[in-house]
Chain A
Amino acid sequence: MSTFAAVVLFAGVVAYAVLGGADFGAGFWDLTAGGAERGRRPRHLVDESLAPVWEANHVWLIFCLVMMWTAFPTAFAAIMTTLYVPLGLTALGIVMRGSGFAFRKVVVQTDQQRVVGAAFALSSIVSPFFLGTVAGGIASGRVPTRGYGDPVTSWLNPTSVLGGVLAILTCAFTAAVFLTAEARRRDDDELERYFRRRAQVTAVVTGVVALVGIAVLHADAPRLFDGLLSRGLPLVILSGACGLLALLLLSRAAPRLLQGLAVAAVASVVVGWGVAQYPYLLGTHLSIQVAAAPTSTLWSLTLVAAAALILVVPSLALLFSLQQRGRLEA
């Protein structure tokens, strides 16, 4: 039962990493799109493809928080009291990002757009970085069971920094692939080439960082390293293969296939982390079973998750299909 709850929670983490990640990555491309004149067309594509979905994608984060504090309350408190610096900054970053994005659609003067656009784009990089450091801190076992761990080294350490950088890169990669697909759907060759090039560059950089990361993990988080290279190995390989395939097919495959591959690449590496960590929630000191809430609580969460499956999943599917068929227009 507790394992099941952990799986549901982790499914939320994966969904947020993929969908929220694609949103964050779009912000990354927004930031790097250059001056107002040059960046106009890519920014416009970012806007059009992001506007209808970002709020729904963002709810996955709420889902993770809520699942965490209900199913694993002590672990939640431990994480929050240890990693409060990056988490607090993430929260503020999310406010900046969401409101900046919403405002940008309304203001029309270029200088104002620049300010709110910059707020949106900058926080799109800051937030995933900090979330990545949080993941690194948890994965490398730096959160003590009773919480109140070191407020600095828990997130300023090799694994966390690796996590942060990888988070930014994978977000950028997924977003670039999504935007390439989006541009193709709109028959916009120029933008398609634009984002394809960026997808290729980030894919290569991500690959290199991931390889360097293996060495970092070996030195800094041996348990995670072992787990990833034993139980997690098939998933890590799968992730690499999907990424590579997406890269190779970037100029040919149907948009939907491309998106699927990018999603699989990110999802499988995150799942790999989960598998490597199992059966522990924090380091090797707090197991899922010990941290879990009473069974009746887990049951009610299961019911909520089932209701979500019945209600939310079809609604999300409706939203995405309307968007991809061009029925939703900013």
Chain B
Amino acid sequence: MTLASLAAAGASSVPSQLLPAREQMAFTLGFHIILVPFGVAFTFLMLIANYRGIRRQDADAMLLARRWSQVAGVLFAVGAVSGTVLSFELGLLWPGLMGRFGAAYGIPFAVEGLFFFLEAIFVSIYLYGWKRMAPWPHFWSGVPVVLSGIGGTSSVVAANGWMNQPGGFQVRGGRVVAVEPLRVFFNAAFWFEALHMLLAAYMVAGFMVAGVYAAGLLRGRRDRYHRLGLAIAFTVAAVVTPVQIFVGDVAAREVFHREPAKFAAIEMLPHTSTHVPETLGGVLIDGTVRYGIDIPSGASLLSGFSPDTKIYGLDVIPAPVRPPDDLVTTVHLAFDVMVGIGFALLALALWFAVVWWRRRAVPENRWFLACTAVSGVLTVVALEAGWVVTEVGRQPWTVVGRLLTRDAVTTTGNLWLFFGATVLLYVVVGAATVYVLRLMRRHWQQPEGNGEEDVPYGPRTRQDAAVPAGDAA
């Protein structure tokens, strides 16, 4: 530690590692979470296409499944390694959290490890089984991937839910004693958070994939292959969207009842009162709300079904743990963005449903395709915004009421260096991922080669040894 940082730490009793640790956690999780839907939900789309391909002898569907599995393979690898970094970071950045609460908080992660194993194993079998396995056994080898994706998501989010509403343990003499594993895992925030995240993953994967094929259709590739790709992905996304809004609404009411501090931040409410308006947009400056649009009594009506519903404001939070204005604004705006995107996508899904109902065909109107093409990006924004609501909305706590973030953080080393190296590496890896995906698409678009034959470096084994790979120098 340098002298300057020592002095700073002494003055404020906030370790100098806190800021870089938070930045790094947010950055790496924010990166990782974009890949998660592809391991969890994209594989489901792939199985739908696979099923259709076998059942109806549909060559287009089969080709879609095959290519999707290759994309999933690349994204799964990046997701797995970026997830591994998160595991290291829990110890490297937050030893106060792990050392003190690992005995309880670790349990959902142990369950998660089990699902990761199954997921990694069956992804490999599915991915590399295309050529030599019989169609149905191959299809079935993909099913555990989807199931363990659901299990894995639920477990990690169970850990996150526990940080929001900790339970199932007692602390005596600074040590966790008397852990009740089931109450740790199935904590009060578990059900709605896990379901909400799972549906978010399906929305992201659905709209993202639909967007890719919508873009292709817009560019004039109006063949059955593109229409089918759009239809499969969009249907899943469209079915999930209304359910997601319902679950989000339930989540908001649960947060209102059980996490009043976070709810005050979400509603950006300085003072406890009834007839609370729903403020859209706006910022909190010096404890007063500015520039927002108010819907009279909206918040009270939504949270308690009556304008007389009392909502606690930021004023009931003790001053030392009250979140500062800018943090509250962040949480509030992130919530608005998430909800706004949710309703925008609902409108898009209805559009699709109406056209499908009337014409039994995918809408090919330019406006619809253009909206669909950007919908994927919007879902990712909503996904990130949702996590900002949950995570930033919990501050200054890491484990609500139990552990402050500044007590969770490590107090050694210069984390800016680690953070810098991580950002650099992730930028390169992120750019390379995009590049590689585009490269795959380019191969597929070439009339002769359909990309499935690519092998690194040299000739292949035995039977297809005649195909030389790439343009070896």
Give chain A's interface residues, CB within 8 Å of chain B.
Answer: 36-37, 39-41, 43-44, 47-48, 51-53, 55-56, 58-59, 61-63, 65-67, 69-74, 76-81, 84-85, 87-88, 90-92, 94-99, 101-111, 113, 116-117, 147-148, 151, 186, 293-294, 296-297, 299-301, 304, 307-308, 311-312, 315-316, 318-319, 322-323, 326-330
**If the complex has contacts A77-B96, A147-B99, are A56 and B120 also in contact, measured as CB distance less than 8 A?**
yes
Q: How far is the CB of B426 from chain A (nearest CB, A)?
A: 8
- Picked from B87, B112, B121, the residue with its CB within 8 Å of the CB of A312 is B121
B397 at the interface (CB under 8 A from A): no
Q: How far is the CB of A173 from chain B (nearest CB, A)?
A: 24
**Chain A residues whose CB sits within 8 angstroms of the CB of B132 once the complex forms:** 326-329
Q: Is B78 a contact partner of A84 (Cβ separation < 8 A)?
A: no
Majority DSSP secondary structure for residues of A touching B: helix
**Chain B residues whose CB sits within 8 angstroms of the CB of A55 once the complex forms:** 76-77, 80, 120, 123-124
- Picked from B96, B117, B433, the residue with its CB within 8 Å of the CB of A308 is B117
Q: Is A40 a contact partner of B458 (Cβ separation < 8 A)?
A: yes
What 10 new A-B contacts, CB under 8 Å, besides A69-B102, A113-B456, A296-B181? A44-B461, A53-B124, A69-B98, A91-B85, A91-B89, A108-B469, A108-B471, A300-B107, A318-B121, A322-B133
Q: How far is the CB of B251 from chain A (nearest CB, A)?
A: 27
16 contacts between A and B (CB under 8 A): A40-B458, A62-B84, A66-B109, A69-B109, A76-B98, A95-B82, A97-B81, A99-B78, A99-B433, A102-B74, A102-B77, A108-B471, A148-B411, A293-B103, A315-B121, A330-B455
Interface centre among B83, B124, B411, by most chain A C-beta atoms within 10 angstroms, is B124
Write the chain B residue with the least CB distance to A146.
Answer: B99
Q: Is A70 a contact partner of B129 (Cβ separation < 8 A)?
A: no
Complex formed: what's the CA distance from A212 to B96 in Å? 39
- Picked from B91, B123, B454, the residue with its CB within 8 Å of the CB of A80 is B91
**If the complex has contacts A44-B457, A92-B425, are A77 and B98 also in contact, measured as CB distance less than 8 A?**
yes
**If the complex has contacts A62-B87, A76-B98, are A36 and B80 also in contact, measured as CB distance less than 8 A?**
no
Write the chain B residue with the least CB distance to A147.
Answer: B95
**If the complex has contacts A58-B80, A73-B98, A110-B471, are A300 and B74 also in contact, measured as CB distance less than 8 A?**
no
Complex formed: what's the CA distance from A65 to B90 in Å? 10
B63 at the interface (CB under 8 A from A): no
Write the chain B residue with the least CB distance to A312.
Answer: B117
Q: How far is the CB of A43 from chain B (nearest CB, A)?
A: 5
Closest A-B pairs by Cβ, 7 of them: A70-B106, A73-B102, A77-B99, A40-B458, A108-B470, A80-B91, A293-B103
**Chain A residues whose CB sits within 8 angstroms of the CB of B439 once the complex forms:** 106-108
**If the complex has contacts A65-B91, A88-B88, A304-B110, are A56 and B117 also in contact, measured as CB distance less than 8 A?**
yes
Q: How far is the CB of A56 from chain B (nearest CB, A)?
A: 5
B131 at the interface (CB under 8 A from A): yes
- Picked from A48, A76, A84, the residue with its CB within 8 Å of the CB of B461 is A48
Write the chain B residue with the least CB distance to A319.
Answer: B121
Write the chain B residue with the least CB distance to A315.
Answer: B121
Write the chain A residue with the least CB distance to B185.
Answer: A300
Q: Is A76 a contact partner of B91 (Cβ separation < 8 A)?
A: yes
**Chain B residues whose CB sits within 8 angstroms of the CB of A329 once the complex forms:** 128, 130-132
**If the complex has contacts A101-B77, A109-B470, are A70 and B109 also in contact, measured as CB distance less than 8 A?**
yes
Interface centre among B78, B95, B436, by most chain A C-beta atoms within 10 angstroms, is B95
Q: Is A69 a contact partner of B91 (Cβ separation < 8 A)?
A: yes
B274 at the interface (CB under 8 A from A): no
Complex formed: what's the CA distance from A225 to B76 in Å? 42
**Chain B residues whose CB sits within 8 angstroms of the CB of A103 once the complex forms:** 74, 432-433, 436
**Chain A residues whose CB sits within 8 angstroms of the CB of B100 once the complex forms:** 73
Q: How far is the CB of B369 from chain A (nearest CB, A)?
A: 28
Q: How far is the CB of B435 from chain A (nearest CB, A)?
A: 8
Interface centre among B77, B87, B90, B454, by most chain A C-beta atoms within 10 angstroms, is B77
**Chain B residues whose CB sits within 8 angstroms of the CB of A47 once the complex forms:** 455-457
Q: How far is the CB of A190 from chain B (nearest CB, A)?
A: 13
B296 at the interface (CB under 8 A from A): no
Complex formed: what's the CA distance from A87 to B88 in Å? 8
- Picked from A37, A79, A98, the residue with its CB within 8 Å of the CB of B80 is A98
**Chain A residues whose CB sits within 8 angstroms of the CB of B421 once the complex forms:** 92
